[in-house]
Structure 1
Amino acid sequence: MKYEDFTRLSVTTKDRITTITLQRPDTLNAVDAQLHTELRHVFRLVADDPDSDIVILTGTGRAFSAGGDLAWLQSMIDDPSRFTGIIEEAKQIVFSMLELPKPMICRMNGDAIGLGATLALCCDIIVASETARFGDTHVRAGLVAGDGAAVILPYVVGFMRAKELLLTGQLLSAEEAHQMGLINHVVPADQLDAKVDEISGRLVRGATQAIRYTKIAVNRGLRKLAQDQMDVLMTYEALSSQSADHAEAVRAFREKRKPQFTGR
């Protein structure tokens, strides 16, 4: 894949800063099959791009990413074989983000939920709009939290806090997430670009090799954890995707009601 092949992402570079933008505003940048595939490739391409040193990841519209697209989730309920390829793609998204040598800023312009929370957590610095919310809500959709947040959350906030967040699917305000150390900076929406520009400008004027090697060294522990745990997590998520509770959750979301879980 090349940048010009993307239909769900845009990739632009200016002054050695590359911006990757999720481009599904009508669905709150929910991830469908095509976007999932593009996310698998984009970070490897950016890593090899000689024209940039800093990366910004953001979304179009009023959300960063609302997680998995409901129609895509339904397609995997209808045809479980579809999930097989998703396991490898999900692993490669997380691995490629954690292995990206260039520092990456999450410009969290709105809610980061489910897979959206994982994408944010895999960045190096998160700058969020004060109205944004953050949370891994997989269990609220009847799914195991398998796509990466379960690896990173305990590393960031400790096991007890991480387990509460993952087991309840609790949504945090940007300020609550900031207080936990999940978000670096929370600013009014009209100051988001200025804050991101300030940080990216400081990084792009810095000692590029020193910054890259520092990131590589600091991320080593996270990379090892992801390599060790992602197979198991994604296998359990695949198993839970065929549960009656997950099917009920998807129906309920579409019908705009609360799901009635039965434990099956």
Structure 2
Amino acid sequence: MTLDSYETISFSRRGRVLTATLNRPEARNAANAQLHAELARLFPDLDADPGSDVIVLTGAGESFSAGGDLKWMQDAIDKPAKFHQTIREARQIILGQLSMEKPLIARVNGAAMGLGASLAISSDIAIATTEAKIGDPHVSVGLVAADGGALLWPQMAGYLRAREYLLTGAPIPAPRAVELGLLSDAVPPADLDDRVDTLADRLAQGATKAIRWTKMAINRPLVAHAQTHMDAGFAYEILSNETDEHAEAVRAYAEGRRPNFSSETG
């Protein structure tokens, strides 16, 4: 295992705390094919890293992650077989993250949308700036919210609230997301680093095995839930990738207009 092979994720160390930074700031850290593939192997690699006991996940620039890159989505529309690989990777991302032994803190420095939201709420602790927003707008681009949204949001926020936000794709201000149980805390931007560093240091100085195994005990029901139900959501997402609705949405956003979800694009 080596972290040197990553090109869209960068790493830094502070004692036994390892920070992994999604590093596509020019695209607001939206996932393209390369970043998505690297995320699929990231969490097992972080778990195996001998120089760390605590992991911090964050984004470069002003965003945590804006979700999926539009050009990448268009490529999946043009070549549907590629989307099957994306789904396999999405499964590896979610299960890899939930199955990690090391404690994982999401430092949500800005917008966490779509996959970005899933990465945040799948972390053990998610600390956001009060100016951040979190949301899963898959439906806004004609896709099923399967890569964490349909699976985890009901567990965190309850089914009624999860339905409202997943069926509309509406973004949620970080303080409200804390109230809903989707984030752990929201602090002023100037306090974000101190809040995350203090928490990471406390975990790094604690009883490593007890912390890891407590985390594993907590996450076992989520892992079992994911293994039982995630594939059905992904199957629906594969179907939605091949709809006229999705093609219209991607085309509309590329052209800078609102999608027209008429009966003809159903």
With structure 2 as the length reference, what TM-score do the two structures score?
Answer: 0.97
Post-superposition offset of 1:12: 2.4
Residue type at the aligned position of 1:92: Q
Unaligned runs of 5+ in 2: none
SS at match of 1:66: coil
SS at match of 2:228: helix
Q: Which residue of 1 aligns with 2:153?
A: 153
Q: Which residue of 1 aligns with 2:198?
A: 198
Post-superposition offset of 1:248: 1.0
SS at match of 1:106: strand
Q: Which residue of 2 aligns with 1:180?
A: 180
Alignment of 1:29-68 (within 5 A): 29-68=29-68
Contact persistence 1:121–1:149 (CA under 8 A)? no
C-alpha distance in 2, partners of 1:87/1:27? 21
Alignment of 1:98-247 (within 5 A): 98-247=98-247
Residue type at the aligned position of 1:197: D
Residue type at the aligned position of 1:139: V
Post-superposition offset of 1:11: 2.1
Unaligned runs of 5+ in 1: none
1:66-124 superposed Cα distances (whole Å, 9 cap, x missing partner): 00000000000011111111111100000000000011000000000011100101101
Post-superposition offset of 1:2: 3.0
C-alpha distance in 1, partners of 2:104/2:123? 5
Residue type at the aligned position of 1:110: G
SS at match of 1:127: strand
Q: Which residue of 1 aligns with 2:260?
A: 260
SS at match of 1:40: helix
Post-superposition offset of 1:256: 1.8
Q: Which residue of 1 aligns with 2:17?
A: 17
Post-superposition offset of 1:149: 2.0
Q: Percent identity?
A: 47
Contact persistence 1:133–1:171 (CA under 8 A)? yes
SS at match of 1:19: strand
C-alpha distance in 2, partners of 1:157/1:57? 22
SS at match of 2:183: coil
Q: After TM superposition, which residue ranges in structure 1, 4 or more long, deviate above 4 angstroms?
A: none
C-alpha distance in 2, partners of 1:206/1:154? 31
With structure 1 as the length reference, what TM-score do the two structures score?
Answer: 0.98
C-alpha distance in 1, partners of 2:149/2:74? 22
- Matched residue count: 264
C-alpha distance in 2, partners of 1:63/1:101? 26
C-alpha distance in 2, partners of 1:230/1:34? 23
Post-superposition offset of 1:50: 1.6
Post-superposition offset of 1:10: 0.8
Q: Which residue of 1 aligns with 2:88?
A: 88
Post-superposition offset of 1:189: 1.0
Post-superposition offset of 1:170: 1.4
SS at match of 1:81: helix
C-alpha distance in 2, partners of 1:179/1:102? 26
CA RMSD of aligned residues (A): 1.0
C-alpha distance in 2, partners of 1:162/1:189? 27
C-alpha distance in 2, partners of 1:28/1:151? 25
C-alpha distance in 1, partners of 2:70/2:227? 28
1:213-235 superposed Cα distances (whole Å, 9 cap, x missing partner): 00000000100111111211111
Q: Which range moves more in the overlay, 215-224 or 13-22?
A: 13-22
